[in-house]
Amino acid sequence: MATGTEPPATDPHPRGGGVHTPTRAAIAAPHLRTDRWWLTPAATAAGLLAFVVYSTWRAFANAHYYAAPYVSPFYSPCLAENCEPMRGGPNWEIFGPWWGISPAVIILIFPLGFRLTCYYYRKAYYRGFWASPPACAVAEPHRKYTGETRFPLILQNVHRYFFYAAIPVAGILTYDTVLAFRDETYAWGHMGLGTLVFLANIVLIWAYTLSCHSCRHIVGGKLRHFSRHPVRYRMWQLVGKLNARHMLLAWTSLASVALADFYVYLVASGVFDDPRFF
């Protein structure tokens, strides 16, 4: 008899909202799913949380972010006077000596905003952190729900601007990757393990950035007649293919950017010497 999914024998017609609205079928259990529906939101929350903890530590550490020729993606471009000097590297002293804390904070706003408003990450944290909903057909714990209709969540609509901003950021990280083809004496034409890490990272960053739903809309999705814009149609199809893997790219690029930073940290803090290939 007992299957574990059997609802507790309470009031068969509980008054309440949502699935317990009196007109609906009287079922006391908030849901009857028997699979491990909680696994995905739990894993999502754990993954995101791990990244937040790691990146907060690294962003405020203000140390070990440069080991020639590698600059951590968290600190690139470095826009304050207190940045470590990087020859030929991405530091421009836009912020003067008054900027006291870690220069990473200045630039991280943009990738953070891009990912925070990303359609995939929204799904991930709405489900994982907000339990809104925790999983499909599992009742959410909130009394009221207005979605993205008002402040602050209506601001999710600015995703497109973060996408615009994400392009130069990805450009600069590309530049960093080019610089990684130097050795520690800034001589060109060399490669180390770090170069590979950077290469993998930049490919994933670009793939994630271009697979963005806003990008898909801008390159062609907004059109009504693809037949009149064959080039944009082609681009829309290509972006669409990437877009189908947006979730995968969101996670892999998140991991790769952390890994690239961690690699720089290890080399810069002297734990580890960058193995050079040539």
Site for another protein in 113-132 (CB under 8 A): 119, 122-123, 126-127, 132
Q: Facing residues of 78 across strands?
A: 91
Residue 5 interacts with another protein (CB under 8 A): yes or no: yes
What is the rounded distance in angstroms from the CA atom of residue 239 to the CA atom of residue 229? 15
What is the rounded distance in angstroms from the CA atom of residue 74 to the CA atom of residue 71? 8
> CB of 139 within 8 A of CB of 18?
yes
What is the rounded distance in angstroms from the CA atom of residue 31 to the CA atom of residue 117? 29
What is the rounded distance in angstroms from the CA atom of residue 22 to the CA atom of residue 2? 27
Q: Which of 97, 225, 275, 277 binds another protein (CB under 8 A)?
A: 225
Residue 232 interacts with another protein (CB under 8 A): yes or no: no
φ/ψ (deg, to 5) at 27 = -135, 120
- Tokens, residue 249: 């790219």
Residue placing its CB nearer to another protein in the complex, 157 or 269:
157
Q: Which of 47, 51, 110, 160 binds another protein (CB under 8 A)?
A: 160
Binding-site string for another protein from residue 236 to residue 265, where x marks contact by CB under 8 A and - marks none: -------xx---------------------
Residue 25 interacts with another protein (CB under 8 A): yes or no: yes
Give how many residues touch another protein by CB under 8 A.
58
Q: List CB contacts of 144: < 8 A, sequence separation 6 or more.
A: none
Q: Kind and range of the H or E element at 238?
A: helix 230-243
Residue placing its CB nearer to another protein in the complex, 190 or 217:
217
Residue placing its CB nearer to another protein in the complex, 164 or 262:
164
What is the rounded distance in angstroms from the CA atom of residue 275 to the CA atom of residue 92? 29
Site for another protein in 32-71 (CB under 8 A): 32-35
Site for another protein in 184-213 (CB under 8 A): 213
Could you list the residues that contact another protein (CB under 8 A)? 3, 5, 7, 12-13, 17-19, 21, 23-27, 31-35, 119, 122-123, 126-127, 132-133, 136-140, 142, 144-150, 153-154, 157-160, 213-214, 216-217, 221-222, 224-227, 233, 243-244
